[in-house]
């Protein structure tokens, strides 16, 4: 092995430790260490924030460009509106897909 190979292996090991240790700390420490209440309250919003970080760019960007008026955004609005107005879990899906497909058909895209 040359120096370049050792550097690559060192980077792999460091990246592995950097991703494993924070996750393992919750398992190893368990209930011996309690998170402050402020952190616990903030962690409640982590799933919603992660989902928004994944979904919002896909809704607002078309071909890599910001497009504030597009069928995906209208479909998301329809799905959110249906979710707010009804407790039916299928209605937001149906409304969103219906608006998306309808607008794409009308716009020819």
Give residue 36's pLDDT.
87
Q: Taking the chain (109 residues) in consecutive chunks of 10 residues, what is each chunk's mean pLDDT?
A: 84 95 82 84 93 92 87 95 94 96 90
Alpha-carbon distance 109 to 100, whole Å?
11
Alpha-carbon torsion (96, 98, 99, 105), positive or negative: positive
Task: State the alpha helices, DSSP H only, in the chain.
Answer: 3-29, 37-43, 46-60, 71-85, 91-107
Tokens of 21: 């240790």
Q: Where are the domains of the chain?
A: 1-34, 46-109
């Amino acid at each position: 092995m040359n120096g370049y190979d050792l550097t690559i292996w060192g980077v792999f090991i460091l990246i592995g430790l950097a991703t494993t240790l924070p996750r393992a700390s919750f398992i190893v420490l368990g209930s011996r260490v309690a998170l402050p209440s402020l952190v616990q309250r903030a962690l409640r919003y982590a799933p919603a924030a992660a989902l928004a970080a994944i979904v919002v760019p896909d809704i607002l960007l078309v071909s890599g460009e910001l497009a504030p008026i597009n069928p995906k955004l209208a479909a998301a609005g329809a799905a959110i509106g249906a979710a707010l107005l009804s407790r039916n879990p299928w209605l937001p899906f149906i409304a969103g897909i219906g608006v998306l497909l309808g607008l794409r058909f009308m716009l020819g895209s």
